[in-house]
Amino acid sequence: MKFGKVDHPGDIEFTLPSTHKQTEEVLKDFKKSEFKDVRVGCAKWNRTDLKNFYPRGTKDELKYYSTQFNSIELNASFYRMFPSEQFEKWEEKAEGDFKFFPKVPRIISHIKRLNDTERLTDDYVTNLLPLKDKLGMCFLQLRDDFGPKNMDRVEAFFKHWPREIPLSAEFRHADWYKNEAAADDLNDLMKEYKITHIITDSAGRRDLLHMRLTTDSAFIRYNGANHESDYSRLDDWLERLEEWYKLGLKNVYFFVHQNVEEASPLLSAYFIEKFNKRFNTDLKIPKTLN
């Protein structure tokens, strides 16, 4: 993920903002008990990006990846409308209790900008169905120039989206965050339609750390900077997740990106090991070769 990349990450103040009062209000409606679902993964599975991860002789990258991680942020679905047969092949290759978190195609989000996209959305959702139980939460990412003036399109999209398939959304236009009225309207809408508000932790866009949960799920896109601070930032996230866990958080979807992706498995393994110790979970710690 090159989004939010900076030349000198050591100059960035990485302290996480305080939890927004909305998060406490949302989570108070949920019983404080164990997590229902925890997924930690990378954004890609191909050998070119994840260097030094696959053992020599690995023939099927997705198959092996799914033996080490329990999920993947499926960015491939952003670039084209894959047919149902492709999702069926991925479902067959993935091992065990694995889940895909597919990104809504850019023809819907970026090219048509949510305008007149009902049929495309229906086709996309239909094509996803062969993933069966391996279909996790889908996510919609809007363009940097898609601002609050387009709120009516957002509402129409949320209204049309099938309730049976969990959806999350990432908003990148700065006005969604610096305009308090727009932020409140957006979050009220997401709560109404039970859409999870993605939190993106990137060096160059600290405003996306809104810390406003809209459901009982935290979907976090963590973008490391290939810098020594990457690990301490993960420690901070563990502290924050524990805070939310005590408030009633039920699901954690945490996907690790890097400016240079080859370090993603190392960061993920570190995060999973620390997560297991803190929350007494037994997520598999992926093997790394360096």
Q: Give me the tens of pLDDT residue by residue for the chain, a chain 290 residues long.
A: 566 565 666 667 789 999 999 999 999 988 777 899 999 999 999 988 887 899 999 999 999 999 999 999 999 999 999 999 999 999 999 999 999 999 999 999 999 999 999 999 999 999 999 999 999 999 999 999 999 999 999 999 999 999 999 999 999 999 999 999 999 999 999 999 999 999 999 988 999 999 999 999 999 999 988 888 899 999 999 999 999 999 999 999 999 988 777 789 999 999 999 999 999 999 999 998 75
For residue 184, the one-letter residue type is D
Interior CA angle at 232 toward 228 and 238, to 5°? 150
Taking the model in full, what pTM does it have?
Answer: 0.96
Alpha helices in 132-228 (DSSP H): 151-160, 175-178, 180-192
Locate tokens 């679905």: which residue? 77
DSSP 80-147: S---HHHHHHHHHHS-SS-EEEEBPPHIIIIISTTSS-HHHHHHHHHHHGGGGGGB--EEEE--TT--
For residue 145, the one-letter residue type is D
Locate tokens 């309730």: which residue? 163
For residue 102, the one-letter residue type is P
Locate tokens 């302290």: which residue? 15
Work out whether the CA dihedral 103, 106, 107, 113 comes out positive or negative: positive
